[in-house]
Amino acid sequence: MTTVPKRLAVKLSLARAPQLQPAHIVPIFQRWIQQRTVPGMLIDVIDYKHVPNGPGVLLIADEADYGWDLVGGRAGLRYIRKRALPEDLSAALRLCCAGALAAAQALEAEAPDDIAFDYHALEVSYLDRLRYPNEAQAAAAAQALLATALQEIFGAKPRLQRLHDDPRYLLAFRCVAGRSLADSMPAPALAG
């Protein structure tokens, strides 16, 4: 059994800059609540697009949040699992990847000529500073476990890079795989 962080996030970045602006995401996420487009009990939309390189627009749900994320100057879709994470890192990561994939594909369906995600790369963030401080020893241990878990998902070992050495940032990794996440996982069932 592998210890998992209290919360785990997966971000899929866009393959190219969209014409779609963060303000356009608010009504999309509101429609998702009404139509139950993505899994989970969807609650509310919070607009943080006024924060430079910030969280953008969040769709708050009971078990996980979905976000149009602008952190690092790279727009993308972030899935943040905050409840009911499996106790095994591979299972927890698979759950987060499935949530991110479902939301990313739903966003692509909303703007098919504009939004395209890069399914070969993702960011994984450990939102648990107590068990996973952003320090060299913890990062090395987490990276080894993450590589194994991602290899199970992608079918090949991805390249991993720690995003920040500064302990003020969350422990996070950029993962690049030779195989697309969309090809590596079963197609998510979209509600609606």
The predicted-structure confidence for 72-101, as pLDDT tens digits, reads as follows 778 899 999 999 999 999 999 999 999 999
What is the model's pTM?
Answer: 0.92
Mean confidence (pLDDT) of the chain: 91
- Would the pLDDT of 14 be above 50? yes
The predicted-structure confidence for 29-79, as pLDDT tens digits, reads as follows 999 999 999 988 999 999 987 887 778 899 999 999 999 998 877 889 999
Q: How far apart are CA 150 and CA 160, in angstroms?
A: 10
pLDDT of residue 189: 54
- Would the pLDDT of 2 be above 70? no
